[in-house]
Structure 1
Amino acid sequence: MARESNKPHYLGHRKRLREKFERFGLEALQDYEIIELLLTFSLPRKDTKPIAKQLLNKFGSIKGIFEASPEELRLVPFIKEKTINLINFIKEISAFYHKEKIQEKPLPENLPELADYCIKKFGNKQEEEFHVIYLDSKYCIIREDLSFPAREFYFKGTVDKVPVYPRKIIEEALKLKSSALVIIHNHPDGNLTPSEYDIALTKTLDIACKSLDIILYDHLIVSSNSYLSFREKRLL
């Protein structure tokens, strides 16, 4: 009996929390309980409830925690590399799952899924990134190999502008024998309104693609939680 009384008080709570998740799923858990349960995998010998509440107080939401930088996360007591790596792993595997999912159907049937993948992959980046996804004649993403089934070609830039070189994009399309492509970039400030630069770039690239019988299928602008499609807005 003495041994039982020496067990940390949080072990019984942790067991009940896991059972609750197994029976009812995440919908049955409060936000702090979701983070608390997550932290048990990286902090098995800590009472993770107060740490979970600290994270939520600091970052405002589960989304805020997952979008926080490693430097920001390290400011929270007991959050070390193991927890940061766990959070990054979950983000990466989620993006990889969505990447495989968007290959199941041709793009016209799959545009929201592609946008969702891009939102998860780089929608919350603090610098603009420009990506190109190349498609075959059936509008399916071109497979490069089994490990990296989607070909992406991107450039990094500053907070408000990223340099894009249409010739490089076209050269890559010809190399891959691509019939169509989609360009995507993020707006770090969350405003999805296309800039004059975005519109001019789209027109320039569209003209270059048409001259080689390649279709610029769409231009997506993504933020941390939404997207704008040039095709849907009839800007392309």
Structure 2
Amino acid sequence: MKAQADSRAKAQPGERPETLHYHLHRQRLRDRFEKAGFAGLAEHEVVELLLTLAIPRVDVKEQAKALLRRFGNLKGIMDAPIGELRGAAKIGAVAPVAIKIIKELATLYLQQDAEGSDCLAEPAKLENLWRMRIGGLPNEVFEVTYLDSAYRPLRDGVERLEEGTIDRAAVYPRKVIEAALKRGAAAIVLAHNHPNGAVAPTEQDKLLTRAIVLAAETVRVRVLDHLIVSTNEAFSFKKAGLL
């Protein structure tokens, strides 16, 4: 493998030895990834490999380590606001955008993975989607997934209805039901995040859920679940016996 990497990264006329060194290093990272995925790389090497996609012809090992020191782990980097990424480790303007693109791709993958799945039989798919989508946001948001009669998410069936402050998002049951009827949904799954990381429902969360359930029953729309998510956890009203 090393011989392959060396042959693919030969020095060009006038190229400095240190330039050849990081070309070889990048190629070795790519080779190890192709062989074993992220399992073959340390966390700083995963970040480094990511940065190489957006920052050409520069050794980015120290920038990768600086990002991990600043944000704690890869998830912290992916969740960080783009402005903080730009100022964190001298990675320029393109790399932060690339990082956010990759996170959005992962979110879209999870959303499309959930589409076509029975959310009653496979609830973890929506839990994973919302942890990725809203779990790391600094402000509280309220979203809905619209389902068909087989409890499968409608295409592009995830919608953000409200966005609030660090500890509150104003939600009106009538707006939720009107949105469900507009989409032709037979059922819905509610979700919101708790930016403080504690996913246990508040009394206000319980009252809101009950109000939405009662309003939905009048138009024969079923509330399948209400999920509260943070970056690392998800609370299910259904699993807890609150629905």
Query: Fold conserved (TM > 0.5)?
Result: yes
Greater CA drift, 149-158 or 212-221: 149-158
Match of 1:234 in 2: 241
Match of 1:146 in 2: none
In the alignment, the residues of structure 1 paired with residue 173 and residue 66 of structure 2 have an alpha-carbon distance, to the nearest angstrom, of 46
Give the drift of 1:185: 0.2
Match of 1:3 in 2: 13
What is the DSSP-based 3-state SS (H/G/I as helix, E as strand, rest coil) of the residue aligned with 1:74? Answer: helix
**Contact 2:45 2:64 (8 Å CA) reproduced:** yes
Match of 1:85 in 2: 97
Instruction: State the AA in 2 paired with 1:186.
Output: N
Superposed counterparts of 1:66-77, under 5 Å: 66-77=78-89
In the alignment, the residues of structure 1 paired with residue 72 and residue 89 of structure 2 have an alpha-carbon distance, to the nearest angstrom, of 17
**Does residue 166 in structure 1 map to residue 173 in structure 2?**
yes
Count, aligned residues:
231
**Contact 2:188 2:223 (8 Å CA) reproduced:** yes
Report the TM-score when normalising by structure 1.
Answer: 0.93
Match of 2:109 in 1: 97
What is the DSSP-based 3-state SS (H/G/I as helix, E as strand, rest coil) of the residue aligned with 1:109? Answer: coil
In the alignment, the residues of structure 2 paired with residue 150 and residue 178 of structure 1 have an alpha-carbon distance, to the nearest angstrom, of 9
In the alignment, the residues of structure 2 paired with residue 233 and residue 5 of structure 1 have an alpha-carbon distance, to the nearest angstrom, of 63
What is the DSSP-based 3-state SS (H/G/I as helix, E as strand, rest coil) of the residue aligned with 1:88? Answer: helix
**Contact 2:199 2:229 (8 Å CA) reproduced:** yes
Instruction: State the AA in 2 paired with 1:97.
Output: Y
Instruction: State the AA in 2 paired with 1:33.
Output: E
Instruction: State the AA in 2 paired with 1:6.
Output: R
Give the drift of 1:180: 1.0
Match of 1:195 in 2: 202
Unmatched 5+ stretches in structure 2: 1-10
CA deviations on 1:97-149 (whole Å, 9 max, x unpaired) are: 00000013111122101110011111100100000111111111123xxxxx3
Q: Which runs of 4+ in 1 moved over 3 A?
A: 1-5
Q: 2:227 aligns with which of 220, 232, 236?
A: 220
Structure 2 CA distance for partners of 1:13 and 1:153, relative to 1, 3 Å: closer
In the alignment, the residues of structure 2 paired with residue 35 and residue 223 of structure 1 have an alpha-carbon distance, to the nearest angstrom, of 23
**Contact 2:141 2:160 (8 Å CA) reproduced:** no
How many percent of aligned residue pairs carry the same amino acid? Answer: 39
**Contact 1:133 1:153 (8 Å CA) reproduced:** no
Instruction: State the superposition RMSD in angstroms.
Output: 1.6
Match of 1:17 in 2: 29
Match of 2:3 in 1: none
CA deviations on 1:140-171 (whole Å, 9 max, x unpaired) are: 1123xxxxx32424210111111001111111
Q: 1:135 aligns with which of 147, 152, 177?
A: 147
Structure 2 CA distance for partners of 1:77 and 1:223, relative to 1, 3 Å: closer
Structure 2 CA distance for partners of 1:47 and 1:153, relative to 1, 3 Å: closer
What is the DSSP-based 3-state SS (H/G/I as helix, E as strand, rest coil) of the residue aligned with 1:150? Answer: strand
Instruction: State the AA in 1 paired with 2:178.
Output: E
Greater CA drift, 73-82 or 17-26: 73-82
Unmatched 5+ stretches in structure 1: 144-148
